[in-house]
Structure 1
């Protein structure tokens, strides 16, 4: 619910358990964000606070959308430059509140400055049932040409507490989504990407708390829905004002606005949870399932990807054999990876030539697609449309289609360049190629990869080059949007050298994502633990592969690999040609078991019972949408002689209900399972177990 009191000039955004309050005076002043309260009691809060001539108004640090004026010294949301200077004094010019529709209500705040030449519309989209609000800003120029030098989506101000701790996700290739906690000290801490993609080194999300745990304590959190260069800054001033500013990165950024032109920022979503990080995650997971992924809410299919079996040596005969074996195991989606097109026999050639190799597929892809469909499976295929090898028909024909700085040789990474998809001919080529590919046969899945950071971002020099970072993302969204519109039965997976492009911007179009190229089942527990802090298990693809064979690590059992991969969307990437009949039968048993519990894992509530790294035992629990089925996955990493496994205290059950443990028929009261615990018997290093309980009495 959104309310405005003209007498006190207070705006109050109220959700299920959160209040967000600001005041429209000489400027928009944020007053409160946290547990729900009566906003009218905040009307008497001071509008200014003088400390000294050096800090004439410390409450300017709590400006709702601060513009650079030369008078405020904290991180601004907006800065411009024009022939008339850089000063930008914005004033409140009105508001508009919509009626609630389908659980969403919106507030627009209108700001005007520079004698009406510049206007800013602040948008607040309120999802009250989820305790989540989405903010964005639209800057419009009605005067002389200006250049946006910095344009953020929002500033979020925290209540005044004695101290805060920041939780964020960091990492690198093969080690993405590592959860990190650090104290917030006086100063500014910045998370960002300058690589043209979301990036593996930071993910655009944050959580702040005073002393929260998984189950207790207040948490303030946010995510930026953007897939390009981004920046989130957490700033604490000496006056104990803590704020978070997020939006498009101002690194190498300049965006010209002519008269009548506008720029809209990506959405910055934020929310509040009062029962720890677990509560935060479940709010986000429900929101993502219902609001972000609604258009691609099909059941997640168990897929097989042939990369580890064949690498670049793809041919129709071998793929058919793999498909036969995958189908017998119960696989539902067969995906051909890199190597099917052009002269693609290694990563040194062929990228950009998106036609089936005639030696590998003499009759085109249709022969394999028909075979896969005849086995009862859908067919999917790998593409990397944003890149091109120098050794390709496409590059030889269009060397001017790549990003390059004038006067210098562009950088080759992984033997490839990045296509300038902001150019209409390039964009048309990619779309026509993808339309043609998808219409050539019954293809139901695209694994869209991007195996390098963007570099040499230029096409002519000057300010125009500095807007290409944003325009590349807009062009990408345009392509994905058209694909979703014209091919509604085709699902897209976002992948960028592992987890390099995962955010709520691209997830408006993608059905699922690839969190990491590291498929070691033990390493994945850490990656999955960080990932699920902010993103739903339904989005996260987890594969059973041959890793860690040859990686200098101890072998993991098939059961351990499957249990780790069952924590999200299940996929198979192992070379199934190598499996013995007994091993193939074990694969089939695990796949069948996953199908029986898939709904609970992908659409239920996740409870992280024991995080990896704190002890030798890790465990996660999923409570199904109806509450009738509970799935527990437990992993013992190492065991010392004489040690026994502790009981697992479950969460989210009904105290007085009774639950039957599948397999042995033993029944427990919910209160016993939550307060005394579920007994488990794991022994030795890298042991694991799956438990399924079903409610029998309410």
Structure 2
């Protein structure tokens, strides 16, 4: 059937869920998203745009461009039906000449959408996919601010906010009838999904709807902005051929599903958009009863034992952590290596190190339980050290390989969880540790970027990496099915793999390995832009060298998220100990509110060297506002909190900061030096 232009104009359908209203058009072209709004009456963020693009074999772009739009297959897709089932909208398209079929699945989750594309080879010859967009949409207008984040080891969450026109200037496309060729790309490299940049972006506008997106994969990803006359197009992608050495071969009848993309629209600017993204993230998490109490974890690594635990060193830490109010105690790296040989190049077997613990590891675990806490251990499940016996026991096919050789990075081999032997090895280790030692918490680390991936049983390395990371998530979920009371933390040299492919399946995320307490406030304050506040494992590690003011400064970072306690607590003086105990008690009292909060940045997302850093975790009936001072005295006016009461709640025994009222606007007098205070923000 051939549709006329008039038919195309009439060929539309709508789909709505609470907080979402979408409209699609189809006819003589591919299905296009023409409305994206929070409701049927409000303004739309969308300009007409096809909902999927894909490259296959030698068929890439229809036009001379470097943007992932107007693909040769994408422009030839035609509508073949749609259905709405529960919270899912499924849109079917087909390219009749080749039989390529695409099903776009839009799943409502909170105020947002989780979008995937499933490509099926309906033809009679192999199809090699080299790119599939997870989501693509256009927004009307160009008066937006772009927000994106940089990251690296010890420097996670360095967000930038710039006018779109600075990144994509007006090049007179409309005047001459040209289409754009340039873009603003943000791209991951290797197996650290957030090792350089963050998989989240925002187009923020105070004058109309704003949008945000995130790529939900631990493999390669790419998002980009491109500009035409009067519109901006957002492309959200998993691994691609150009950026990540990705290709997937589909025999006739086989299919491939893209990585998920999360998309939200909000009526408001930056903070309203991140609030919507926060609620979306809560909606896509796999619910686990063990997580919902948000327990305080003490970990012996950061600024403490640094991978050299022993019975003698641990016992005083166990007693002081319990006295401070910790509910879990995690023995970090080193427990499996002997004191003489060390541990870095020996992970993989996951048995206690000989000569490490007087009376054995079991006696230490018993001491943790005897102190009223639950025991935890550090694992790096995907790593097998070069000197580990496991390196010889498992076949080469159970590891990442390139060009016929095992990948060795930092003296670690990388397990491939597509392989049954690799998965069976990890299942045996975890089940044994839970049964033998009563482990209730695993800190799961990942300390190596192993590059593009593996070419074992894969068309290209990027596809091997994607398959492994999908196997990793499946393994994590299966572990929790067998052990429903087990808590799991995702740590990747701090926050080097901070994505919602993993974070939707685990309980908390270590936000950094940063050991300088003076720098941690920026990490803690920006973490809720990437991870739920109740999952943001912010380290709090007081030290005997700190003054009382510096101790409160360090502890404030832990309060404003998911407290991750560390440090030689038993060596602290009476005043310092009181500040630690008070902070833990405040966090435990307010953690339910934190788990229902949304982030607000009264001073904007902080720069790495800002003198004053502020984060509000806002919830009903009231929120917590942390303010850290790292420089000169300042006057902090809070117009967004006009009409609300601001009252200091931590610390109780250090001088209170002055909070004044200026025509209904709270004003805080911030003193100079390393100091921090936490305030309760009461309802209007």
TM range, smaller chain:
0.7 to 0.9
Q: CA RMSD in A?
A: 3.4
Is contact 2:556–2:626 with CA below 8 Å preserved after alignment?
A: yes
Tell me which residue corresponds to 1:245. 235
Secondary structure in 2 matching 1:560: helix
Q: Return the match for 2:503 from 491, 501, 507.
A: 507
Contact 1:88 1:113 in 2 (8 A): no
Change (3 A) 1:548 1:391: farther
| Structure 1 partner of 2:213 | 222
- Cα distance, 1:98 vs. partner? 2.0
Q: Map Cα deviations across residues 162-185 of structure 1 (whole Å, 9 max, x no partner).
A: 443321111211111111123241
Following superposition of structure 1 onto structure 2, how do residues 157-196 of structure 1 map, counting pairs within 5 Å?
Answer: 157-159=138-140, 161-182=141-162, 183=164, 184-185=167-168, 187-196=182-191
Q: CA deviation at 1:194?
A: 2.3
* Aligned pairs (5 A) from 1:67-466: 67-68=54-55, 71-72=62-63, 75-76=67-68, 89-99=76-86, 105-115=87-97, 117-127=99-109, 130-142=110-122, 143-159=124-140, 161-182=141-162, 183=164, 184-185=167-168, 187-210=182-205, 212=206, 218-237=209-228, 239-250=229-240, 251-292=244-285, 294-295=287-288, 297-307=291-301, 308-343=303-338, 345-361=341-357, 364-398=360-394, 400=396, 401-406=398-403, 410-413=407-410, 415-455=411-451, 457-458=453-454, 460=456, 463=459, 465-466=461-462
| Structure 2 residue 470 is matched with structure 1 residue 474 | yes
Cα 1:67–1:285 shift into 2, 3 Å: closer
**Residue 645 of structure 1 aligns to a residue in which SS?**
strand
Gaps in structure 1 of 5+ consecutive residues: 46-58, 81-85, 100-104, 665-671
CA contact (8 A) 2:297 2:330 kept: yes
Query: Matched residue of 1:325: which SS?
Result: helix
- The residue that corresponds to 2:14 in the other structure is 12
**Paired residue for 2:557?**
564
Aligned match of 1:53: none
How far is the alpha carbon of 1:466 from its aligned partner? 4.7
Q: 1:607 to 1:673 in 2, by over 3 A?
A: farther
Query: How far off its partner does 1:316 sit?
Result: 2.7
- 3-state DSSP of counterpart to 1:493: strand
Whether the 8 Å CA contact 1:67–1:89 is kept in 2: the answer is: no
- Alignment partners' CA distance in 2, 1:246 and 1:151: 9
The aligned counterpart of 1:676 is: 664
Residue among 614, 631, 634 paired with 2:624: 631
Query: 2:392 and 2:100 mapped to 1: Cα distance?
Result: 46
Contact 1:137 1:265 in 2 (8 A): yes
Q: State the 1:547 CA deviation.
A: 7.7
In 2, Cα distance between equivalents of 1:265 and 1:547 = 47
2: CA distance, partners of 1:315 / 1:181? 46
Residue ranges of structure 2 left out of the alignment (5+ in a row): 1-6, 169-179, 653-659
C-alpha displacement at 1:515, in angstroms?
Answer: 1.5
| More moved, 133-142 vs 33-42 | 33-42
1:456–1:404 distance in 2 versus 1, CA, 3 Å? farther
Given the superposition, is the C-alpha separation of residues 244 and 354 from structure 1 closer, same or farther in structure 2, using an over 3 Å criterion? same
Deviation at 1:691, TM superposition (A): 2.4
Secondary structure of 2:563's partner?
Answer: strand
Q: Secondary structure at the match of 2:450?
A: coil
3-state SS of the aligned residue for 1:476?
A: helix
**Cα distance change of structure 1 residues 556 and 472 upon mapping to structure 2, 3 Å threshold:** farther
The CA deviation at 1:273 is 1.4
2:676 corresponds to 1:688: yes
* TM-score, normalising length: structure 2: 0.85
Alignment partner, residue 4 of structure 2: none
What SS does the corresponding residue of 1:294 show, helix, strand or coil?
coil
Q: Could you say what secondary structure the match of 1:453 adopts? A: coil
1:63 match: 50
Deviation at 1:448, TM superposition (A): 0.5
State the 1:271 CA deviation: 1.4
Q: Tell me the alpha carbon deviations over residues 371-396 of structure 1, each in whole angstroms, 9 at most, x when there is no partner.
A: 21121111111100111211111113
Q: CA deviation at 1:106?
A: 1.6
Offset, 1:222: 0.8
Please list, as runs of the form range in 1=range in 2, the aligned pairs for 1:603-618 lying within 5 A after superposition.
603-611=596-604, 612-613=606-607, 616-618=611-613
Kept in 1, the 8 Å contact 2:510–2:537? The answer is: yes
**3-state SS of paired residue (1:249):** coil
Q: Residues of 1 paired with 2:645 and 2:574: CA distance?
A: 40
Residue 480 of structure 2 corresponds to 484
Indicate if the aligned counterparts of 1:126 and 1:132 stay in contact, CA closer than 8 A: yes
Q: CA deviation at 1:110?
A: 0.8
3-state SS in 1 of match to 2:118 = strand
